Structure 1
């Protein structure tokens, strides 16, 4: 499928604006584990995800990670072009979580587009508001929701996303997603196992009672 089919406001651009994008956009791919963008790195540009999965995360001063949100097929990554927004600073990293293909629009080109097109400017503002809302929701969960509920929710979401109840996740990886220590994750997973909600093995977590996990989250 072509770039035009993945760019949300393509039909609202005039021919010259469409051609400007086609002349400048580049298609790239990257394997899982690649760091596409680091908060202090050069501005990459606007990323349009064609396939795979990206992860936006932040790192604390002590080196602890927390996943802010994920990006899937057809999602747009605005944070990789944060240099366009001079009054906003983002200490966000973007990692390829599953082998990905994506398009990159150079920041200068996208800045010109938003200056020329009201539709593109509105879409950019809406996208930024959505991402900030995602982060605020996450902060609320961390502040007000108990860790057992957060972990159960995470495991259920991972299971839905991967289409399996056997998750290839280390305790360290889960801790990085949830912004906590590995020991905290290990203790809670062992409790879940004692309650027969999960079965633990080296490098995997099997969900054995999704109904109980769902009840724990209040779903």
Structure 2
């Protein structure tokens, strides 16, 4: 198992710029914890916790409408950091999202109480926060682009393609979960998946979706094949 210093140095670009005393202060303030699946670790009506370092598992940031509809904005995976849970450190960013563990997730929290005084003295920390937040906003814009401009079949295909690249051809996910991740209704997702099954692209079982034909799925995503992406040699 990696030692805390190894984790901090790999996941926090500003770590090497801190003095030994500052590193010790963050190390002693850090809080390891396990978030059971379904845990809401951040919401607008709670105090922001700090930076979350994901050791394993997965989080998702999402919006919840007054009608109860969820739109997943982005996900944070193992080896990544969640900084919007420390949004109170970033005065220029006002963004109310909920953050949920979508599987059992192990994290180390660097509390705001320890980060705030350091951020005032170390511009590297503030730069890291804004840089990481801006990358997440790029993910959010991509999500909005999909919702506003892409058909449901393409959005579903992109989701399945990305998930299978991470987890393999057998995806243990329900139609309801998939609908929440891509910002749609479960009935619509079920209809699209049934069409994919009729076309031989996927096989559907209770709680699982198995990718059968990656080439057909790739075509639905709109991505070029390897051959199409490879430049032809000049004559």
Give me the TM-score of the superposition, normalised by structure 2: 0.87
Aligned-residue CA RMSD in angstroms?
1.5
Runs of 4+ in 1 over 3 A off after TM superposition: none
| Aligned counterpart, 2:230 | none
> Unpaired segments of 5 or more residues in structure 1?
none
Instruction: Answer yes or no: is 1:69 the counterpart of 2:74.
Output: yes
Q: Is contact 1:3-1:103 (8 Å) kept?
A: no
Residue 87 of structure 1 deviates from its aligned partner by 4.5
Is the 8 Å Cα contact of residues 90 and 130 (structure 2) preserved in structure 1?
no
Q: Could you tell me which residue of structure 2 aligns to residue 149 of structure 1?
A: 154
Distance apart, 1:134 and its partner CA: 1.1
Q: Unaligned stretches of 5+ in structure 2? A: 224-235
The structure with more radius of gyration: 2
Q: Residue 90 of structure 2 contacts residue 129 of structure 2 at CA under 8 Å; is this kept in 1?
A: no
Are 1:4 and 1:10, in contact at CA under 8 Å, matched by a contact in 2? no
> What's 2:48 paired with?
43
Q: How does 1:35-184 map to 2 (within 5 A)?
A: 35-163=40-168, 165-184=169-188
Work out whether 1:216 is the aligned partner of 2:220.
Answer: yes
Determine the C-alpha separation between the residues in 2 that align with 1:187 and 1:77: 34
The TM-score normalised by the length of structure 1 is 0.93
Distance 2:163 2:97 in 1: 22
Q: CA deviation at 1:136?
A: 1.1
- Structure 2 residue 9 is matched with structure 1 residue 5: no
Report 1:12-23 matches (<5 A).
12-23=17-28
